[in-house]
Amino acid sequence: MESGQTVTVFGAYGHTGRFVVAELRERGFVPVLSGRDAAKLQAMAAAEPGLDARPASVDDPASLDRALAGAAAVINCAGPFAVTAAPLIEAALRAGVPYLDVAAEIEANLDTFASFADRARAAGAVIVPAMAFYGGLGDLLTTAAMGDWKEADEAHIAYGLNSWHPTAGTRLAGAVSRERRGGRRVRFANGQLEYRTDAPPTLDWTFPEPMGTRAVIGEFTMADVVTVPSHLAIPEVRTYMTAEAAEDLSAPDAPAPAAADERGRSVQTFLVDVLVRSGGVERRAVARGQDIYAVTAPLVVEALDRILTGRTTTTGVASAGEIFDAPDFLRALAPHIAVDLPS
């Protein structure tokens, strides 16, 4: 799509933000570079000829208004989202433009639904939190697996990562989330979020080939426990992570992701295996790809394109599976993501 529309990217100079800026340009949009660090913005603008740099701070509403002036939408790539989401959403509502973020922070996503659902719906605004690898992709796959089911007994979302070299932003967001829930872990069971102090279980999960059976951390809870139950009647939503990736994430000396190809992607690969059950019947949806940070860019930019071209099913605060045609959206992500969906 050669739209030429401007889109403000807050946190444009961050690891994921740079992928989003590149994807926007590839899709014909004109990114407006924004964020809190003016020096980093200017350096990025110098390397990206023709792009406007607009420093802004979440504690300065006027600066956010300037950053969004004339833009068709805003994408928030700057964590911790517990700090940035609400001020950016307020600015988007003032500007009358859609807001999308790539937050994997469970508490920040909960805050967005709780604080803005009524206002956004009344204003006819579109706010899509967690439009990323965690939260967005799992929700789309779960929705696609559900098909014509109106409800299911349980959903299992298993993340098969061969490694996980976290960014500084991931580490900071994780620390903020742990602090907000007092170090407890969280799961979605019995139709509600449950906070627990016991250790999560370890078990084996049989992924589709070639990954096969791997040890996983059960109830390794991601943003899917917010996005999926926000619109699907599933009382049990469990998420799992391959044990080696979980160990990488917790290792204090784990390196940051390193570029390994011309697109800047790392060598990390992923397989997301979603299984939904209802009355003894199972349905499955699977996605495969490379680099969880890089793949967030086509996810959020495809969402943006669909919002701006009216290919949505609702307004207000909505997760990816609720606001978009999930199977069509997933198939549109080729060649970034390969999917196997129920027929």
Write the pLDDT tens digit of every residue in 170-208.
Answer: 999 999 999 999 999 999 999 999 999 999 999 999 999
Q: How confident is the model at residue 228 (pLDDT cuts 50, 70, 90)?
A: very high
For residue 106, is it within any domain?
A: yes
Domain containing 248 — which CATH number?
A: 3.30.360.10
| 300 and 283 within one domain | no
Total-model pTM: 0.97
| 75 and 11 within one domain | yes
Helix (H) or strand (E) run with residue 206 in it = strand 202-206
CA-closest candidate to residue 187, choices 228, 154, 219, 217: 219
- The maximal CA–CA distance of the chain, rounded, in angstroms, is 58
| 254 and 220 within one domain | yes
For residue 340, is it within any domain?
A: no
A 10 A CB-CB count for 178 gives 13
For residue 201, is it within any domain?
A: yes
Which residues constitute the domain of residue 252?
133-291
| 170 and 143 within one domain | yes
Q: How confident is the model at residue 217 (pLDDT cuts 50, 70, 90)?
A: very high
Domain boundary among 291, 307, 335: 291
In DSSP terms, 31 is beta-bridged to 7
For residue 338, is it within any domain?
A: no
| 153 and 128 within one domain | no
Place of tokens 């206002």: 119
The amino acid present at 262, given as its one-letter code, is E
Q: How many domains does the chain have?
A: 2
| 242 and 151 within one domain | yes
C-alpha span between 133 and 299 (Å, rounded): 8
**CA-to-CA dists, residue 246 to 113, 201, 210, 221, angstroms:** 28, 13, 20, 11
Q: How confident is the model at residue 2 (pLDDT cuts 50, 70, 90)?
A: low
For residue 243, is it within any domain?
A: yes
The amino acid present at 199, given as its one-letter code, is A
| 99 and 140 within one domain | no
| 152 and 63 within one domain | no
| 165 and 64 within one domain | no
| Structure-derived torsion over alpha carbons of residues 2, 315, 17, 68, reported in degrees to the nearest 10 | 80
> pLDDT for 5-30, tens place per residue?
999 999 999 999 999 999 999 999 99
> pLDDT for 230-285, tens place per residue?
999 999 999 999 999 999 999 999 999 999 999 999 999 999 999 999 999 999 99
Is 288's pLDDT higher than 50?
A: yes
Structure tokens at 296: 């967030």
Is 142's pLDDT higher than 90?
A: yes
3-class state of residue 91 by DSSP? helix
For residue 185, is it within any domain?
A: yes
Is 317's pLDDT higher than 70?
A: yes
Dihedral sign, Cα of residue 123, residue 124, residue 125, residue 131: positive
For residue 56, is it within any domain?
A: yes
Alpha helices in 100-242 (DSSP H): 106-123, 138-146, 168-180, 224-227
pLDDT at position 343: 83
| 266 and 140 within one domain | yes
> pLDDT for 334-343, tens place per residue?
999 999 999 8
User: Cis bond leading into 257, ω under 30°?
Assistant: no
- φ, ψ of residue 187 in degrees (nearest 5): -140, 165
C-alpha span between 268 and 164 (Å, rounded): 7
Burial of residue 31 (number of CB atoms within 10 Å: 0-12, 13-18, 19+): buried
C-alpha span between 217 and 201 (Å, rounded): 6
Q: Are 202 and 217 in contact (CB under 8 A)?
A: yes
C-alpha span between 236 and 276 (Å, rounded): 10
Q: Are 222 and 159 in contact (CB under 8 A)?
A: yes
Which of these ranges, 83-92, 166-175, 224-233, has the smallest mean pLDDT?
166-175
| 86 and 42 within one domain | yes
| 282 and 148 within one domain | yes
For residue 219, is it within any domain?
A: yes
Q: If you average pLDDT over every residue of the chain, what do you get?
A: 97
pLDDT at position 1: 44
Domain containing 110 — which CATH number?
A: 3.40.50.720
Instruction: Summarize the confidence of residues 281-295 as an average pLDDT.
Output: 98
